[in-house]
């Protein structure tokens, strides 16, 4: 019991430390709940702390994108109710990670379906947590569409990139999309770049650029002020991809000059990104993660994930 208690204490301290680091690096988060218009009958919602969902109000129903956690989900439901009494029929979830896939029960209690790719659902089922349940509707393959009459939700599984079952959603009639974790405007890669296959991420960003949308809600954004409420664009997708390429190029250039492996990361500088959130704290971590990818081979990797 003593050993378990010590482990739980250590883990709690780790979470507090990580949370503090994220808060310190994040300069542009809205501290309170806010709804903002992205398109005709399309809205973004943030409950503070840098998490953004999206909802679409149709002629007969409402659908939401990304549940995050119970507190966020309950606030999201209240936000929808401030606009309409139409039934929330579907809550679409992007991938398996606990910090995104929690909160689904709140929508099940509303009578909605929660929709998740099978690879995400398998992981959630294998790693139970009180606030996280596998989707009530599970889909497979690389593409599926939901036709709600006056609008369509396209589900695009782009293969391995981040987490499992990562899905990008597009509502073509509205020219809008919802993108989780793959694009975070105005920020370098998150800390140690957890659970990203960087090469496949880069490929996926290219495929996102080919999708039919003009503006997106990104699950996280570091755009300052009112810019955060205008959504993400394909320019931000391109910038995310270019950062990966520029960092890789800088690493290779140092290596070709004979810089020692353990000296490269601390000597990397990308001044064109110095204004991005996390640059001072996370650039060296980003460099080490990409170096390990180049040295060890791409990871993580899952058979048949593509």
DSSP string, 152-206: EEEEEE--SSBSSS-EEEEETTTTEEEE-SS--TTB---TT-TTB-HHHHHHHHH
- Tell me how long the chain is: 306
Residue range 135-157: average pLDDT? 98
Residues above pLDDT 70, as percent of the chain: 90
pLDDT at position 48? 84
Domain ranges of the chain: 26-233
User: Has residue 117 got a pLDDT over 80?
Assistant: yes
Does the pLDDT of residue 177 top 90, yes or no? yes
Q: Per-residue pLDDT tens for 198-228? A: 999 999 999 999 999 999 999 999 999 899 9
| Class of 26-233 in CATH | alpha beta
Mean pLDDT (the chain, rounded): 92
- This prediction has a pTM of 0.91
Give the pLDDT mean for 36-63.
96
- Looking at residues 230-256, what average pLDDT do you find? 98
Q: What does the pLDDT look like over 278-296, one tens digit per residue? A: 999 999 999 999 999 999 9
């Amino acid at each position: 019991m003593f050993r378990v208690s010590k482990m739980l204490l250590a883990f709690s301290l780790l979470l507090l430390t990580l949370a503090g680091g994220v808060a310190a690096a994040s300069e542009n988060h809205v501290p309170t709940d806010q709804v903002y218009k992205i398109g005709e009958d399309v809205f973004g919602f943030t409950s503070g702390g840098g998490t953004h969902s999206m909802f679409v109000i149709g002629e007969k129903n409402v659908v939401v994108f990304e549940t995050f956690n119970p507190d966020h989900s309950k606030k999201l439901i209240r936000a929808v109710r401030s606009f309409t009494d139409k039934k929330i029929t579907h809550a679409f979830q992007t991938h398996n990670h606990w910090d995104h896939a929690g909160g689904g029960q709140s929508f099940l209690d509303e009578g909605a379906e929660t929709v998740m790719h099978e690879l995400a659902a398998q992981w959630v089922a294998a790693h139970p947590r009180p606030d996280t349940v596998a989707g009530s509707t599970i889909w497979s393959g690389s593409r599926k569409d939901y036709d709600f009459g006056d609008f369509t939700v396209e589900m695009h599984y782009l293969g391995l990139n981040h987490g499992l079952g990562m899905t990008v959603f597009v509502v073509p009639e509205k020219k809008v999309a919802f993108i989780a974790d793959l694009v975070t405007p105005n920020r370098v890669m998150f800390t140690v770049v957890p659970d990203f296959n960087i090469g496949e991420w880069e490929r996926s960003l290219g495929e996102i650029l080919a999708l039919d949308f003009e503006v997106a809600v990104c699950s996280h954004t570091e755009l300052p002020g009112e810019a955060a409420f205008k959504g993400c664009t394909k320019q931000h997708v391109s910038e995310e991809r270019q950062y990966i390429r520029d960092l890789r190029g800088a690493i290779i250039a140092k290596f070709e000059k004979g810089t020692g492996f353990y000296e490269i990361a601390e000597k990397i500088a990308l001044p064109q990104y110095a204004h991005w959130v996390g640059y001072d704290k996370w650039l060296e971590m980003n460099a080490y993660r990409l170096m390990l990818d180049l040295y060890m081979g791409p990871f993580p990797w899952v058979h048949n994930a593509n």
